[in-house]
Copies of this chain bind each other. A is one copy, B any other.
Amino acid sequence: MAGGEVVIDSFDSEVLKGNPLGDQTRREIAIYLPPKYDASRRYPAAYGIVGYTGTGRSLLGIDPLGEDLKSRLDRLIRTGRMGSMIVPLPDCFTKVGGNQYINSSATGRYDDYLRKEIIPFVESRYRVSRRGIWGKSSGGYGSIVQGMLHPDTWSALADHSGDALFEFCYIMDFPKALAAFREHGGPAKWLRWYWRQPNRRKEELYPVLNTVGMAAHYSPNPKSQELGTDFPFDLESGEWRPEVWVRWRRWDPVNMIDRYASRLRRLRLVYIDCGTKDQYQLIWGARVLHKKLDDRHIKHVYEEFDDTHSFVSYRYDVSLPLLWKALS
Contact = CB atoms under 8 A, between A and B. Distances in A.
Interface of A: 53-55, 57-58, 60-66, 91, 93, 97, 165, 167-168, 171-172, 174-175, 178, 198-203, 233-234, 236-240, 254, 281, 284-285, 287-288, 291, 307-308, 310-312, 314, 317
Given A202-B308, A311-B201, A288 B65 contact: no
B171 A281 contact: no
A287 B93 contact: no
Nearest to A50: B64
B198 A314 contact: yes
Contact of A53 (B53, B65, B198, B238): B65
9 contacts: A53-B64, A57-B62, A61-B61, A64-B91, A168-B174, A199-B312, A199-B314, A239-B291, A240-B254
Contacts of A308: 202
A276 B7 CA distance: 42
Nearest to A174: B168
Given A53-B64, A63-B201, A234-B288, 20 more contacts: A58-B61, A58-B63, A61-B61, A61-B62, A64-B91, A65-B97, A165-B239, A168-B175, A168-B238, A175-B284, A178-B284, A199-B311, A199-B312, A201-B311, A202-B308, A203-B310, A238-B285, A238-B287, A238-B288, A239-B291
B65 A200 contact: yes
Given A65-B97, A93-B64, A172-B171, A165 B238 contact: yes
Contacts of A236: 287, 291
Nearest to A307: B199
A321 to B, nearest CB: 15
A145 B91 CA distance: 41
